[in-house]
Amino acid sequence: MFPGIGGEEIRGLSGAIVVRRVLWVKGKIVKNIGVVVNGALGRMGQEVTRAVAREAELKLVGAVDKEVFQQSLPLADVSYIVPLSDDIDSLLEQCAPDVLVDFTNAEVCLATARIAAKRHINLVIGTTGIAEESVAEIAEMCRTYKIGAMIAPNFSLGAALLIHLSQIAARFFDCAEILEMHHNRKIDAPSGTSIATAKAMLQAHGKPFTYPDLGEEVVRGTRGGQLGGIAIHSQRLPGFMAGQEVVFSEMGETLKLRHEAISRECYMPGVVLAIKEVVKHQELIYGLDALLALE
């Protein structure tokens, strides 16, 4: 058993003694929600570990990363040892968390979800670029293993509200474009948030948006990509963290909705909320807005 983790001792799948915290979750008493963070040494992973460590109802019981040079995670906010490993299966066996949080990449995330689901561990996934068939597979995992999973392209409360407001506006405008801005280290374009926004707008609009015909695109790609008549433009510059602007237009007027993430701290209230809520479900929940009771 790893030192410094308090709680009720139980035996893991291999017979090793592990520790569970003990709150009411799925009809059982649990004390704190035990959390393991995958990709803990990455930019988002570090932010998540700090947020979990600060939250009274949560307990950071383990961390995983692909490059590990020590056996514990150094954190100023905790007085106990947080095990750190590059072996996800072994760590989950020893720590027995209630929730696995993953902000890695689409390929790693799916492989990790398969391992965690078999151990009946709930999932909170903030990885972007997850294919629809992978989302469907995770939903099937929830049904098979009776766990909850939360997938959100963006855990910012402001971004969730922007998507919601864009859905409302989409009912009244026939023309719309999306400009999304991210730092230059983001590997995919357009962002998962912009795709989710466009899909939500199309659902509310009930038909494709009007996309103006061009006589000629002098510089290829100037009009960006297109999803259902919505042009999506991606900016990748070192001065950005993350942001999105949705522009609606009709004859004689425009409506602009804009959100900017100034630091990664903005995602943490959404991540913490997702961790606390996912243990109450045995299904896939997609999008942070599903937890915000937006109308």
CB atoms within 10 A of CB 138: 22
CA distances from 73 to 64, 99, 168, 194, 216 (A): 9, 18, 44, 34, 55
**Of 182, 233, 259, 276, which one is the catalytic site residue?**
182
CB 53 within 8 A of CB 272: no
Say whether 118 is catalytic. Answer: no
Q: What angle do CA 59, 264, 148 make, to 5 degrees?
A: 45
Give the CA diameter of the chain. Answer: 70
Say whether 182 is catalytic. Answer: yes
**Of 118, 183, 186, 281, which one is the catalytic site residue?**
186
- Which residues are catalytic, by number? 182, 186
